[in-house]
Homo-oligomer: A and B are copies of this chain.
Amino acid sequence: MIQPLQLWHKVLAVRNNAPLVHNITNYVVMNNTANALLAVGASPVMAHAHEEMEDMVNIAGALVVNIGTLDSYWVTSMLKAIGQAQQLQKPWVLDPVGAGASQYRNQVLHQLLQAGSPAVIRGNASEILSLANTVSATKGVDSTHSSEQALQAAQAVSASFNTVVCVSGETDFIVYNNTITGVSNGHALMTRVTGLGCTASAITGAFCAVADGHYKDAAIAAMAVMGVAGEIAAAKSDGPGSLQMHFIDALYNLSEEAFVNHVKLSTHESF
């Protein structure tokens, strides 16, 4: 299992390389996402015009596709960007926001995953479960225990697309190739701030951009940074409003000592 100090070196790699991350994401979180990327030392781009999707992917180190406020124009933007990322073998991250909430979202997710295989898919348990039922070739998500269900679903999705799958929750599980790593950081108040899951996906993109193909470690590093910064921020916060502010400060100020001391990793047996 990767060790905290190795994850910290990935944090430094993002700070030192300042990777450009191209985000096709939802309107609700764009500002926070951009600020979180800046706070970890990455450089955000938000663009969706069809005419410039190739150019933006060309200059980016990674692409993040988030379907939170999708519509047909934006889906085409996503498909164009994914096509170019596949062509250039650049990593892309998929955040299947609201998977299962509408037929349309499910169809779009199917389309996006037909267009290419993301480096990482990050969602909450219900999104990953829905994704498994919608797009995974491997069915059989039938356990009665819900977190176990989500892990089975994550493994099915991971196997179908040869992709790292990250299931966010009280413990975040990062699943790939029959290994499961848990990150048990974060704070319950984070669920009361909109878009921190979207932020996690964007930061995963930043880590993928400097990962040299080690996308599982990139996803672990991203979730660890999110969780540790969230804990530090929550300790100073009076509610979700102040948490949002302190979280950005904590991402920006994160030190090796705080990171290594806080981060809680675990390995889990495959199902």
Contact = CB atoms under 8 A, between A and B. Distances in A.
Interface of A: 26-32, 34-35, 38-39, 44-52, 55-56, 59, 68-73, 98, 101-105, 192-195, 237-242, 244-253
Contacts of A193: 35, 38
A38 to B, nearest CB: 5
A237 B249 CA distance: 9
Contact of A240 (B26, B39, B68, B73): B39
Contacts of A101: 45, 47, 52, 55-56, 59
B252 A247 contact: no
A240 B249 contact: yes
Q: From DSSP, what is the main secondary structure of chain A's interface residues?
A: helix
A162 to B, nearest CB: 29
Contacts of A239: 39, 248-253
Contacts of A51: 72, 102-104
A35 B247 CA distance: 15
